[in-house]
Amino acid sequence: MYGQMMQQPLLISTLLVHAERHHGEREIVSRRVEGDIHRYTYKDLAARSRRMAKALAALGVKTSDRVATLAWNGYRHMELYYAVSGAGAVLHTVNPRLHPSQIVYIADHAEDQVLFFDLTFLPLIQAVANSTKTIKAFVAMTDRAHMPAADVASKIPNLLCYEELIEAQDDHYEWPSFDENTASSLCYTSGTTGNPKGVLYSHRSTVLHAYAAALPDALNCSARDVILPVVPMFHVNAWSLPYVGCMTGAKLVYPGAGLDGKSLYELFESEGVTLSAGVPTVWQGLLGYVEANDLKFSTMKRTVIGGSACPPAMIRTFGERFGVHVLHAWGMTEMSPLGTACTFKPKHLTQTQEERYAVMAKQGRAIFGVDMKIVDANGKELPWGSETSGDLYVRGPWILSSYYRDEGGDPLVDGWFPTGDVARIDADGYMQITDRSKDVIKSGGEWIGSIDLENIAMAHPAVAMAACIAAKHPKWDERPLLVVMKKPGAEVTKEELLAFFEGKIAKWWTPDDVVFVDAIPLGATGKMQKNKLRDQFKDYNLPTA
């Protein structure tokens, strides 16, 4: 017997229709690449998205065609989120920090038909426009007055102007209805090894993920919030905040290209931001600026930090100095991206602050919809509540079943997706990432968690960033080598740093050596590129060798 409820597909366009009807006057504020602050409402967003959907049809974009963007977080990018997917095409958000050759590879692999870009990326467009195979039009996301000069424009095939496309249409448009399993957007993984692989989201997975992301024990978003997503819209749909915005009616504040501490801080204060989200490296810049200028956050209450492990020292600085609660979250492109969020259970409310900080350093509990387990090298499930870590596997309705165009074959193991992360899970179900499996340091057959070591090093006041990598050792195979970037003007010696580990970890986990570098390489999504460091130090002679 079937239930007797309405069959209504979960479609991305319904989020926009809801926002226009129930939160029409709520604002969306953007720092534009043109230099000014732009503000309008969800009502305006809905009308302009409908116009853009018509413009896409006029350009010949059909159901399931891929439409690419190279763009910052801003209102025009959000219009494309709804116009492209809402019309039944697939929004392909491309990471502009990739090398031009990778962008060409991705655009060809996705068979993108149209590419929309922010003016910042004009040089990138000039570099790739005549190499991509399928793109029929390039659209500059600006008005006529800011379009590239004629000599530049003439070298880009079929260069169009975003505002002219919008102006040529009216906003009478009915969003089409179709199967909720239709593809809605496409995002390529960072691909530290081999070519990047595409993850193809559906309307159903996206809407379910947005419901889950907004829950109180996830990102906890409501109509009362003012959300500033620092996490880019070109990286896993900005952790779904453009969808959560429409779902909840929260005011959205988009920082555009202004990701430095000063620009971000000004927007936080002028727009009354209550919630933000981003990777640890961005917050480092912001905290540096706020501390150096002796400033305070007057409205910000919470910030979501994920994408790489949030150093406990950062959680503490946010909490103790600024009264901002850090919500540590974990996920990946293949998971839309949210998997876990670290919020308290009732028992933690009566614990000491120190005990609570220890909980907050973990990546958190599974959000409903995500099932997770850890397994040993033979695939046997490991118990929760021990110090043993294992390979982390997940499954759920917003987790990929195969990569776009089946690249790399079947990624699943008995219906589970192996994340490539190594983690332990405590008795209360709080998961803690100890490593990426390829970053694990194997000393005498035992694993040393590099993230634990980095977290300790980054709590030292002189350390700006620290990466721990495996260095070759004749007796133990591998031993930890700590690579450190100091804070500007700060001094610390190798001996002082090694002494800093005493009493905080098992003695045999202590790094064998410390090297100081001017910079630690960061990848396109702001994560430390340990593979590059491993290359750089592959012949490093440890003093213990």
Among 103, 520, 525, 526, binds ligand AMP (CB under 6 A): 525
Sign of CA dihedral 12, 17, 22, 26: positive
Least distance from C-beta 22 to ligand AMP, angstroms? Answer: 31
- Is the Cβ–Cβ distance between 259 and 230 less than 8 Å? yes
Which one, 303 or 333, has the nearer CB to ligand AMP?
333
What is the Cα–Cα distance from 422 to 440, expressed in whole angstroms? 8
Beta strands 390-395; 371-375: pairing state: antiparallel
Q: Is there binding between residue 338 and ligand AMP (CB under 6 A)?
A: no
Least distance from C-beta 392 to ligand AMP, angstroms? Answer: 8
Catalytic, 72? Answer no
Q: Which residues contact 148 (CB under 8 A, 6 or more apart)?
A: 119, 122, 140, 156, 159
Which one, 196 or 245, has the nearer CB to ligand AMP?
196
| Catalytic residue (choose from 72, 447, 476, 509) | 447
Helix, strand, coil percent values for the chain (each to nearest 5): 35, 25, 40
Least distance from C-beta 98 to ligand AMP, angstroms? Answer: 12
Least distance from C-beta 242 to ligand AMP, angstroms? Answer: 17
Site for ligand AMP in 435-454 (CB under 6 A): 436
Neighbours of 494 (CB within 10 A): 15
**234: helix, strand or coil:** coil
**361: helix, strand or coil:** coil
As given in the structure block, the two tokens for residue 94 are 């491309």
Site for ligand AMP in 179-198 (CB under 6 A): 189-190
Among 67, 165, 236, 372, binds ligand AMP (CB under 6 A): 236
Angle at 19 between CA 18 and CA 23, to 5 degrees: 120
Least distance from C-beta 432 to ligand AMP, angstroms? Answer: 9
Least distance from C-beta 328 to ligand AMP, angstroms? Answer: 6
Least distance from C-beta 436 to ligand AMP, angstroms? Answer: 5
Site for ligand AMP in 465-494 (CB under 6 A): none
Q: Specify the stretch interacting with ligand AMP by CB under 6 A; choose among 45-53, 79-87, 142-150, 417-425.
A: 417-425
- Is the Cβ–Cβ distance between 426 and 362 less than 8 Å? yes
| Catalytic residue (choose from 20, 271, 334, 478) | 334
What is the Cα–Cα distance from 236 to 120, expressed in whole angstroms? 21
Q: Is there binding between residue 219 and ligand AMP (CB under 6 A)?
A: no
Closest CA to 386 of 395, 378, 376: 376
What is the Cα–Cα distance from 484 to 537, expressed in whole angstroms? 13
| Catalytic residue (choose from 14, 132, 182, 189) | 189
With CB under 6 A, what is the number of residues at the site for ligand AMP?
A: 20
Site for ligand AMP in 72-131 (CB under 6 A): none
Q: Is there binding between residue 337 and ligand AMP (CB under 6 A)?
A: yes
Catalytic, 442? Answer yes
Which one, 173 or 417, has the nearer CB to ligand AMP?
417
Least distance from C-beta 364 to ligand AMP, angstroms? Answer: 8
What is the Cα–Cα distance from 251 to 193, expressed in whole angstroms? 38
Which one, 77 or 530, has the nearer CB to ligand AMP?
530
Q: Is there binding between residue 396 and ligand AMP (CB under 6 A)?
A: no
As given in the structure block, the two tokens for residue 121 are 């990326």
As given in the structure block, the two tokens for residue 390 are 């294992």
Q: How far is CA 96 from CA 75, 107, 115, 133, 259, in A?
A: 18, 12, 12, 18, 14
Which one, 68 or 400, has the nearer CB to ligand AMP?
400
Place of tokens 């399928």: 134
Q: Is there binding between residue 419 and ligand AMP (CB under 6 A)?
A: yes
Cis peptide before 280 (omega within 30 of 0): no
Least distance from C-beta 408 to ligand AMP, angstroms? Answer: 14
Among 274, 333, 450, 455, binds ligand AMP (CB under 6 A): 333
- Is the Cβ–Cβ distance between 236 and 187 less than 8 Å? yes
Neighbours of 255 (CB within 10 A): 26
Beta pairing partners, 436: 421
Which one, 196 or 255, has the nearer CB to ligand AMP?
196
Place of tokens 């990946």: 332
Contact characters 347-376, ligand AMP, x per CB under 6 A: ----------------x-------------
Contact characters 291-330, ligand AMP, x per CB under 6 A: ---------------xxxx------------------x-x
DSSP class of 514: E
What is the Cα–Cα distance from 8 to 429, expressed in whole angstroms? 34
Catalytic, 189? Answer yes
Residue type, 152: V
| Catalytic residue (choose from 62, 296, 438, 442) | 442
Q: Is there binding between residue 332 and ligand AMP (CB under 6 A)?
A: yes
Query: Mind telling me the catalytic residues?
Result: 189, 334, 442, 447
Residues of this chain that bind ligand AMP (CB under 6 A): 189-190, 236, 306-309, 328, 330-333, 337, 363, 419-421, 433, 436, 525
